[in-house]
Structure 1
Amino acid sequence: MPDTSDSGGLTVGRAAKLLGVTVRTLHHWDGIGLARPSLRTAAGYRLYTAADTVRLHRVVVYRELGLDLESIRAVLDDATADVPAALRAQRAEITERIERLRRLGTGLDRMIEAQERGMLLTAEQQAQIFGPDWDPEGPVKARRLYGDTEQWRQYAERAATRGPKEWQAVADRAARLDHALGEAMDAGVEPGGPEAERLVERHREVFSAYFPLTREMQVCLGRMYEDDPGFAAHYDGVRPGLAGWFRRLVDASARAHGIDPDTAEWR
């Protein structure tokens, strides 16, 4: 223990340095009556005796264990206090906190992996959910193309929380939409009508499983569905000409909402 002052005690500054706390902390403990210095110098400066310093050490130990100051006061001052019970309760709380941190760590690992890979499924799981024609490298390729966008970050945040069951639900909703689009095309649904508008809104809702889709973004997707060979093959596999038909529905809906499809941008 450091030397005491000439008056036989530790100054507040020395005590703070000894305990690894701030002077402000010691002043606070003094102010609430938790640990007060017992001596004063002739000039009025407060000094901690050896007994005071022992109490301070005990306060620091219990505080580092996570006890709040009132619990520490009870442990130190209440002769009837059940100290083992208080410590067991604190041990249980710490155990729970460790488990929360473990879950947080696992969640962060999944978030990191989702940001890097996109979809946290094996190739076999992806084929089972999305079909044998699905490219399991598709999410990785998308990461290379779009990894610096806000939409990729939103997609990855959703993907981090999903396992096979959740992705199956996403795939099922998309399949039901494809079926509804095919039936609507067969029924002669025209762009701009109420049924067409419901289908366009349903597409935006289904697509939101990946990230929020604005109307302008939807117009850009409609172009891609028609122009990209992979997307066109998918939709034309549902019904020949479906990709072009759906694009016309989207463009008509955009116009109804004041958006020019010819100048729409990804925003």
Structure 2
Amino acid sequence: MSWSVGQVSGFAGVTIRTLHHYDRSGLLSPSERSPAGYRLYTPADLARLQQILFYRELGFPLDEIATILADPQSNALDHLLARRDALTGQIARLQRLVEVAERAIEVRGLGIDLTPEERFEVFGDVVFDLSYATEAHLKWGDGDGHQEALARAATHSKEDWRQLMAEAAVWRAKLLAAFDAGLAPDGEQVLRLAEEHRQHIARWFTPCPPEMHARIADDYETDARAFALVVPPGEQRPGLAAYLRAAIRANAASTDVGAAGAAG
């Protein structure tokens, strides 16, 4: 018994175009021909199609499916185990994206109350990446400091943001000058800049203990979106993010030592 392309397409749920593609690629070619020359699929062909569709449903690319089916000695279990691990990772990422989307809705509800024109006027080249904001919310959201920072940001007026950004610009110019001059990140002048940055966060957003400041600085080196909030891409230099992180961590260490000495 044999079946035409149209018949197989109908009961297998595969388009005729897909079957023709499988035929051209050599993945599944009908074994028989009708007297009129039409392609006909045998039961063995359908069994092979069933395997192909099974692997396709699992997301295997066609070339890997061809490899599995071409070698009867091939260990299909190894391929399945690898695919299972990949699918598990994809599921985890999708679940995280759902959570990020849900948090993004919350973050938008606490957004900065400025028009697009006012945001451009106040922030200039500093870009607030929503994907980073939502991931930061996932990372820091359970902490009181993060919640307070969002709440205080939501209450800032346009003039508050203008002053905040002006202070940040002055500080940034001093940071760039120190970096360009080759000053050591743990030198006295650069440590003062790191402390100024910590106090800036505390003044405008939330109390920022040295240990929290150091963790924030880690993001500056590992995530370009975080560093862009401090230094716009057009002003950045290679190595500047690591330089700032080193300065903040050195300041955190010296601040902790100073606090311990005062307590003693």
In which range does the TM-score fall when normalised by the shorter chain?
Answer: 0.3 to 0.5
Q: Which has the higher contact order (CA 8 A, sep 6+)?
A: 2
Q: So what's the TM-score if we normalise by structure 2?
A: 0.48
